[in-house]
Amino acid sequence: MTVLRLEGISKHFGAIHALDDVSLSLKAGEVVGLMGDNGAGKSTLVKIIAGNYRPTHGRIFVDGKETIFHRPVEARESGIEIVYQDLALCDNLTAAVNVFLGRELTRWLGPFRILDYSAMNQTAARLFRELKSETRPRSHVKEMSGGQRQAVAIARTRLSSANIVLMDEPTAAISVRQVAEVLNLVRELKRQGVAVVLISHRMPDVFAVADRIVVLRRGTKVADREASKSSPEEITGLITGAIEAL
């Protein structure tokens, strides 16, 4: 089942053509590795899917229905969640509160509406458990490793039961052991039928989890390959331009 289809997406920032005529489709439970050199347009593409940017040209279909997102909240309402390159988490708050940031649970205490920490801790604990992550809801994010921070950001996407999760460089700045944890989170999302777009510069990570690999070069899609029918060497060649497109 195709959950997302992009048709001829272009994005211009003034004179810069960040994306040029990119088409892409995504099925439920499919992991697509999105690769390309610095400035190739990867983040711009996922930001368009997440409603951060409007495309200059092109159409977006969610579950077969043409959609225009004016704001990120509209994409979220369509089941699309994004984990940003620079994980926007609040260091001085707990894991659970970060999971609920912007959609905090509250309860009434007499005439006052107060934050319902116990409900947030319980739900966050369940989400971490479902993701098979050992992150504890009450831990402060400032004391967490990069991998645990990723778990918090990914748990956020489960709150809304999103069926499309976009991840921008989740394994860029973390240790080997934490990379394995994050890749397990991706596999867990896939197992739950979530479609994942994984942006990464790390070839082994992409080949470890991706069903399909899409390569952008200077804003153009130059390859869309089944991972099992490609190789790190071929993908590297496509990224650098040593191998010609399609």
Ligand X SMILES: Nc1ncnc2c1ncn2[C@@H]1O[C@H](COP(=O)(O)OP(=O)(O)OP(=O)(O)O)[C@@H](O)[C@H]1O
Note whether 44 binds Mg ion by CB under 5 A.
no
Footprint on this chain of ligand X (rule: CB under 6 A):
13, 16, 18, 36, 38-44
**Residue with the CB atom nearest Mg ion in the bound state:** 43
The least CB distance from residue 19 to Mg ion, in Å, is 12
Q: Give 69 or 128: the residue with its C-beta nearer to ligand X.
A: 69
- Assign 88 to helix, strand or coil: coil
- Per-residue DSSP letters for 125-178? HHHHHHTT----TTSBGGG--HHHHHHHHHHHHHHTT-SEEEEESTTTTS-HHH
Picking from 117, 154, 157, the residue whose alpha carbon sits closest to that of residue 137 is 117
CB 25 within 8 Å of CB 13: no
Residue 62's binding partner among Mg ion, ligand X, none (Cβ under 5 to 8 angstroms by kind) is none
* Choices 9-17, 36-44, 49-57, 150-158; region in contact with Mg ion by CB under 5 A: 36-44
| Alpha-carbon torsion (52, 53, 54, 58), positive or negative | negative
Q: Which amino acid is at 19?
A: L
The least CB distance from residue 47 to ligand X, in Å, is 8
Burial class of residue 108 in the structure, from the number of CB atoms within 10 Å of its CB (0-12 exposed, 13-18 middle, 19+ buried): exposed
The structure tokens listed for 205 are: 């990570």
Q: Give 43 or 135: the residue with its C-beta nearer to Mg ion.
A: 43
67 CB-near residues (< 8 Å, 6+ apart):
60, 61, 78
CB 97 within 8 Å of CB 118: no
**Among 9, 19, 24, 43, interactor with Mg ion by CB under 5 A:** 43
The least CB distance from residue 51 to ligand X, in Å, is 15
Q: Give 58 or 137: the residue with its C-beta nearer to ligand X.
A: 58
* Choices 37-45, 66-74, 133-141, 188-196; region in contact with Mg ion by CB under 5 A: 37-45
CB 94 within 8 Å of CB 140: yes
* Choices 42-50, 95-103, 153-161, 187-195; region in contact with Mg ion by CB under 5 A: 42-50
The least CB distance from residue 245 to ligand X, in Å, is 16
Residue 38's binding partner among Mg ion, ligand X, none (Cβ under 5 to 8 angstroms by kind) is ligand X
The least CB distance from residue 59 to Mg ion, in Å, is 23
Q: Give 44 or 157: the residue with its C-beta nearer to ligand X.
A: 44
The structure tokens listed for 1 are: 């089942």
The least CB distance from residue 113 to ligand X, in Å, is 37
